[in-house]
Structure 1
């Protein structure tokens, strides 16, 4: 007869870890590296393939600082609040933003003599059209997700829960079903 497999019990007296806390902790730790590395990759990735052009300084002055500021705010605000780490939803959205930023660094087109994207420099001129077609959607998704990650991170850490759920107060409960567009209390 075999005994059922049970999960190891936590040390007596120790608090149980919050759901997703390990994921949030590692995303925040890795996030500080990615908050700097991804904008640096966007600003100077073409330097590695010697395919810089006229738009490289524009990307370095606009796209990279915006992503850097959004990432730092999304990681720093919860660190100064009781939540300590961004919520699980904010971490996931930020990871999508950073992944799109890395892919965007490969596909950003450039102009001028000898300039191309990193993908175009590695795969040849046939890949230039693919890189140009992918760069706009990747850039839009990256910026949208970075903004959403920042907003979610700040809002979810406001009450110190960090798990993405706001605590409801009596004012919200009293306001249910009132106003021009009533909210159904189901």
Structure 2
């Protein structure tokens, strides 16, 4: 079997991961924000902060995920780059964990983890929710930016610029950039 036949039969692992991220990413882009809000109703632990999470946190993650997945699909890259896909997976993983630990206030309200494990887990859930939320949103923004930037470069691999592109820097209306 020649080299070209092998490459056409078994796609490289990076290409497989990029396709998997793009295909399952659409499901995760909707499921994780729904879990952030809907998980509270499944465990009957919704409180007065649930509408706030539904109006701010869930839409922010949904919009960032959809942009990160949709922009490469409309460009020649077709899929988010390997780096962007890995960043998005980290963001979605933190979002799932955040859905378990996100605290709420009010009568009978708690986190999903607190309602399952008891009131002793409330402190741990509250301590974990802030770092998880920060990492989730930061990685979602980063994944969106990396996905859009890498897809603009043709094949979506995130390759570095060519020498021709470096020589063009500093010309035009901004001579201060001429280094």
TM-score (norm 1): 0.85
Match of 1:29 in 2: 23
Select 1:117's aligned residue among 79, 102, 111: 111
Select 2:59's aligned residue among 55, 61, 65: 65
Kindly report which structure 2 residues correspond to 1:7-86, keeping only aligned pairs within 5 A, or say none: 9-11=3-5, 17=11, 20-86=14-80
Q: What SS does structure 1 have at the residue aligned with 2:5? A: coil
Match of 1:147 in 2: 141
Unaligned runs of 5+ in 1: 1-6
C-alpha displacement at 1:50, in angstroms?
Answer: 0.5
Unaligned runs of 5+ in 2: none
Per-residue CA distance 1:91-149 (angstroms, 9 max, x = gap):
00000000000000000000000000000000000000000000000000000000000
Q: Aligned equivalents of 1:12 and 1:116: distance in 2?
A: 54
TM-score (norm 2): 0.88
C-alpha displacement at 1:159, in angstroms?
Answer: 1.7
Q: How many residues align?
A: 175
Select 2:157's aligned residue among 156, 163, 180: 163
Change (3 A) 1:13 1:95: closer
Contact 1:10–1:16 under 8 Å retained in 2: no
Is the aligned partner of 1:101 residue 2:69? Answer: no
Q: CA RMSD in A?
A: 2.5
C-alpha displacement at 1:43, in angstroms?
Answer: 1.6
Is the aligned partner of 1:87 residue 2:81? Answer: yes
